[in-house]
Structure 1
Amino acid sequence: MKCTPIQRAISLAIMVILLATSTTFAQSKAAKIDALVQQYVTNRQFNGSVLVAEKGQVIFKKGYGMANMEWNIPNAPDTKFRLGSVTKQFTAMLIVQLVEKGKLKLAGKVTDYLPDYPKATGDKITIHQLLTHTSGIPNYTNLPKFFETLSRDPVTPEGFAKKFDSMPLDFEPGTKFSYSNSGYFLLGVIIEKVTGKSYADALTENILKPAQLSNTGYDLFSPILPKRATGYEKKNGGYVNSPYLDMTIPYAAGSMYSTVEDLYRWDQALYTDKLLSASAKATMYTPFLDYYAYGWGVKNAKIGELKDSLLLIEHTGGINGFNTIISRLPKDKQLVVLLNNTGGAPLSDIRRNILRILYDQPIVAPKKPIADLLRQSLQSDPLEKTKQKFTAWKADKAYSVSEEAVNGVGYELLRDGKTKEALAVFTLNAEAYPNSYNVYDSRGEAYKAMGDKDAAIQDYKKSVALNPRNTNGFDMLKELGESVEAPKEVVVAVDSATLASYVGNYQLSPAFSIAIIKKGDKLFGQATGQPMFELFPESKTKFYLKVVEAQVTFSSNEKGEVEQLVLHQNGQDMPGKRLR
């Protein structure tokens, strides 16, 4: 059917209106994101670059604050930031590429590829376990005085691996999740051994060039790198240059730099088969323990008041003076990238608010952090005055008190030898969070530094009583000459018929479900891609796991039929519908 000139004009007008409406809508979201981030900047909670994509298209990118404070050079979308542990997803990609090429096996042992690795542990640990932080290899960044004694000198990969390869495992491989930079460092060594190339060259050849990531690479100190941000840390109410870290130390666990624009290109490449086949990517995104897949955290996330949760694939990073996050929602091709160069920014909170904007949900207005005010007061006021101010700030709804941030202030003071002030800060934190095991563990460290053994023992005892899995607390008690047994766990008896009623498959997301199995008088759960673990009842409907910090609650409908379980982990409640 032919269109008349008038019909064509009307159609053209409608198209213009639709385009204008779409552009206005996108601008509206961009303006909201800008206003939101500016609030965090005003609160001194963000200094870096932001990129947000909606349905695969960039709707917002901008830099805030300074890339270099000494020369007043501003951050921009093409500023290069150190990524920290966001590096791990690139290392995981290289490994899975080698698996797809038949050069590695996920079930292969470390000693299959590194014959000189100690056989006592290397014969037991698989590539899969290295990728999922379930190897049991101690985390080298947790070694005593690591940052003071080991972090400043250049190393070779194979040479540095000897720092931890003979250490006893923290647990039997595959039985627990424990984040370990050592595992990803070792994956880099394996990549070099299998390919015959350096980690940096393998990265460039297999990922950076094919994905056209021209502003991404291995961040060594000596090469001249245009538009590289300087890392800073908060101190005494201002900023200081972050401590030097030789980048051969983080290596395949955290050595890379990039820009928000390049990470958008990376995100887009992951929707194609350019780097990896669809089936291999599905393997890479399958979560194991603690929602960790291969270089990515994978779980369902609740956004505002939306009824349904959405699959979120993300990873954070933190390295001297920098913290970072890349968050992907593949269903709607949404992306949030936040790169910060002043350390300690609340990037997860910012990301949550940006996602609320993308899905037209109300944001949670950021509050002014008490930690910064605390730093300033400690510089200018008597200690008693600071304590009074802290109490007033805590009662004011305009301010937020973060356990982690206040603890950070305490450790800054402890490192500076200001043990009296550090103890006061840890005590304020303990009063604000009396049920947190970590605040007592930290205060115990301050008492120990002051030589007050009895007070240190008392705090460490309180810490392990609140969290029997706090191994550091038990280690410190042992060091202080105390022997304390972990509290015995009380297991509630649940009848066989009730246990049988829970048996079935529960779907938490299209790619993740939990199978509940009954064996004798015990209940077991097996999540997608994970081994089977026993569930221990703490009530008739609520069970807990011993291998990770998680609980499962079963719920029934009006007819008494079990229709759902809820997985409680990392402060989130994730419902799973029972499949019929």
Structure 2
Amino acid sequence: MKSIQKSSAILTFFILIFGLLTINVSAQSHKSKIDALLKKYKEYEQFNGSVLVADQGNLIINGGYGMANMEWGIDNDADTKHRLGSITKQFTSMLIMLLVEEGKLDLSVPITTYLTDYPKTTGDKITIHHLLTHSSGIPNYTSFPNFFNEKSRNPYEVDVFIKEFSDMALEFEPGSTYKYSNSGYFLLGAIAEKVTGNTYEQELDDRIFTPLKMANTGFDHHATILKKRATGYQKNGSNYSNSDYLDMSIPYAAGSLYSTADDLYIWDKSLSEGLLLSEENYKIMMTGYIKAWGGSYAYGWGVRNVYSEKKKDSVMEYSHGGGINGFNTLITRVPAEKNVVILLNNTGGAPLNEITVAINAILDDKPYDLPKMSLADALLETFNDDGIDKGMAQYDELKNHNEYNLDEGQMNRAGYSLLQSGKVKEAIALFTINVQEFPESSNPYDSLAEAYLADGQKDLALKNYKKAFEMDPKNENAKKIIDELEANK
């Protein structure tokens, strides 16, 4: 009997060793494939930043690609500090839920309960729940005409900046639909300050960052000397420039934070382990309430059901991106798989959703797409250096080329790069291509209209603004310009 038990124990031991070796080989294979994928994105200048990937609780990738600072040749790494943009919103949401848990806030009462100076005609209809779910109807201040040119560089006190949008009419009845609004999250920071008597920044430090030992996360003040802070760049074809200045009092509770891939991994694990909130309030925070993003929107998170190859069942995926001058970011979590993908890019405009899809396909041993070169970047360079005729010839040559990808957003950015550099005719040509390639999207028409207006071709500007507004009736800027153009006929 002892011999049989001994043999069984030895067999079990070797099975365990074999299993661990198999897992290790699989993890190494995944690591090499993801690394090769990210290097290809870097080669094509479509990603430059920090990456962390964990799967089934195992850290697969944790490092950097490209430069944190191009002037000094300093590499990105896992502890490089990047501006988060709207990933900030999940920290704002957690702060609000911690105050709810302490009985200091009620999700269902009007915001005028806490912001007593806010106009009651609209404020009495809006609850904190509406702010958290982008269903308040408050116009989004970052979408205001000329916002970035006229407002974004100036420092504002919180109460003063609220007046920039508080008197505006609501875009819809609160709770009736979803429309992304940084204004709503700005108000959440103000509410937290009102009920605690502390600054938004201090409350985050005291309630979230210090308890979780997230020592490399905080409110990004321009004047602060911050070690290992990445510089934000914007890409124009194959060239880079420093991103436009943005005073960080403007994004505030909607997008003012910086962090690292390492710290966001701590954040991910704290959510999975329920370290800050009770189970009941965590469920309230992470439940999807209103249709958005191909799923629904919770409090600071997009939520959707996805099929898990590992579980052979549907599981919940939680994600949120961010975009702020010179940076774009994305965190995607599948807690049931102990899976998280964190992408922090400091050249703006990287296809982070596309990269995340490919990474998760690799982790599931499924086919995935390698990146292609950007046709928009190639066209921008040619239109800029060699003119319209050669640019159009290059477009005809490369548009069906398998190694190039034509992306609507990249084309739009390329067109604006030409427009802002004074090459209006070239911008019109590039925007026209974008309209032809993406005729079912409103934004290319809007951009083409702006270029025509800059060129003095008011009839064509009006025609395209009307098309943009017809396709997107919420485009208030288009409606305003249409009214102005028709009034001056």
2:162 and 2:95 map into 1 onto residues whose CA distance is 19
Matched, 1:245 2:246: yes
Secondary structure of 1:435's counterpart equals: coil
Report the CA distance between 1:306 and its aligned residue: 10
2:186 and 2:471 map into 1 onto residues whose CA distance is 33
Secondary structure of 1:331's counterpart equals: helix
Deviations 1:278-332 (A, max 9, x none): 1111111111222111000011236799985542100000000000000001221
Alignment of 1:428-507 (within 5 A): 428-481=433-486
2:371 maps to 366
Decide which moves more: 285-294 or 463-472.
Answer: 463-472
Counterparts in 2 of 1:227 and 1:282: CA distance versus 1, 3 Å:
same
Counterparts in 2 of 1:137 and 1:409: CA distance versus 1, 3 Å:
same
In the alignment, is the contact (CA less than 8 A) between 1:107 and 1:126 conserved in 2?
yes
2:141 and 2:248 map into 1 onto residues whose CA distance is 14
In the alignment, is the contact (CA less than 8 A) between 2:64 and 2:77 conserved in 1?
yes
Deviations 1:319-350 (A, max 9, x none): 00000000001221210000000000000000
2:381 maps to 376
1:351 maps to 356
**Which amino acid is the alignment partner of residue 200 of structure 1?**
E
**Which amino acid is the alignment partner of residue 432 of structure 2?**
T
Deviations 1:119-173 (A, max 9, x none): 1111111000011111111111122211112111222111211111112222221
Which structure has the larger Rg over C-alpha atoms?
1
**Which amino acid is the alignment partner of residue 346 of structure 1?**
P
Matched, 1:421 2:422: no
Deviations 1:523-544 (A, max 9, x none): xxxxxxxxxxxxxxxxxxxxxx
1:138 maps to 139
Q: Which runs of 4+ in 1 moved over 6 A?
A: 3-7, 303-307
In the alignment, is the contact (CA less than 8 A) between 1:457 and 1:482 conserved in 2?
no
Deviations 1:182-241 (A, max 9, x none): 110110010011111111110011111111111111111111111110000012521000
Secondary structure of 1:51's counterpart equals: strand
Percent identity over paired residues: 51
TM-score of the pair, normalised by structure 1: 0.80
Report the CA distance between 1:378 and its aligned residue: 2.2
1:283 maps to 284
In the alignment, is the contact (CA less than 8 A) between 1:287 and 1:298 conserved in 2?
yes
In the alignment, is the contact (CA less than 8 A) between 2:67 and 2:75 conserved in 1?
yes
TM-score of the pair, normalised by structure 2: 0.94
**Which amino acid is the alignment partner of residue 41 of structure 2?**
Y
In the alignment, is the contact (CA less than 8 A) between 1:236 and 1:376 conserved in 2?
yes
Alignment of 1:243-392 (within 5 A): 243-289=244-290, 290=292, 291-301=296-306, 309-392=314-397
Secondary structure of 1:481's counterpart equals: helix
In the alignment, is the contact (CA less than 8 A) between 1:303 and 1:352 conserved in 2?
no
Secondary structure of 2:341's counterpart equals: strand
Alignment of 1:501-540 (within 5 A): none
**Which amino acid is the alignment partner of residue 463 of structure 2?**
Q
Secondary structure of 2:212's counterpart equals: coil
In the alignment, is the contact (CA less than 8 A) between 1:327 and 1:335 conserved in 2?
yes
Which of 405, 414, 423 lines up with 1:409 in the alignment?
414
In the alignment, is the contact (CA less than 8 A) between 2:384 and 2:423 conserved in 1?
no
2:191 and 2:419 map into 1 onto residues whose CA distance is 39
Counterparts in 2 of 1:472 and 1:303: CA distance versus 1, 3 Å:
farther
Higher helix share: 2
Secondary structure of 1:338's counterpart equals: strand
In the alignment, is the contact (CA less than 8 A) between 2:387 and 2:426 conserved in 1?
no
Deviations 1:65-98 (A, max 9, x none): 0000000000001101000000000000000111
Decide which moves more: 423-432 or 306-315.
Answer: 306-315
Decide which moves more: 409-418 or 187-196.
Answer: 409-418
**Which amino acid is the alignment partner of residue 204 of structure 2?**
L
**Which amino acid is the alignment partner of residue 453 of structure 2?**
K
Alignment of 1:67-106 (within 5 A): 67-106=68-107
Report the CA distance between 1:380 and its aligned residue: 2.4
2:48 maps to 47
1:327 and 1:472 map into 2 onto residues whose CA distance is 32
Secondary structure of 1:395's counterpart equals: coil
Counterparts in 2 of 1:343 and 1:302: CA distance versus 1, 3 Å:
farther
Counterparts in 2 of 1:12 and 1:426: CA distance versus 1, 3 Å:
same
Decide which moves more: 219-228 or 14-23.
Answer: 14-23
1:324 and 1:56 map into 2 onto residues whose CA distance is 22
Structure 1 alignment gaps of length 5 or more: 484-580
In the alignment, is the contact (CA less than 8 A) between 2:384 and 2:418 conserved in 1?
no
Secondary structure of 1:270's counterpart equals: helix
1:235 maps to 236
Structure showing greater relative contact order (alpha-carbon pairs closer than 8 Å, 6 or more residues apart): 2
**Which amino acid is the alignment partner of residue 52 of structure 2?**
L
In the alignment, is the contact (CA less than 8 A) between 1:406 and 1:429 conserved in 2?
yes
**Which amino acid is the alignment partner of residue 367 of structure 1?**
K
1:437 and 1:48 map into 2 onto residues whose CA distance is 31
Structure 2 alignment gaps of length 5 or more: none
- The total of aligned residue pairs comes to 483
Secondary structure of 2:336's counterpart equals: coil
1:353 and 1:33 map into 2 onto residues whose CA distance is 8
1:133 and 1:348 map into 2 onto residues whose CA distance is 21
In the alignment, is the contact (CA less than 8 A) between 2:189 and 2:252 conserved in 1?
yes
Q: CA RMSD in A?
A: 2.0
1:549 maps to none
Alignment of 1:111-260 (within 5 A): 111-260=112-261
Deviations 1:498-537 (A, max 9, x none): xxxxxxxxxxxxxxxxxxxxxxxxxxxxxxxxxxxxxxxx
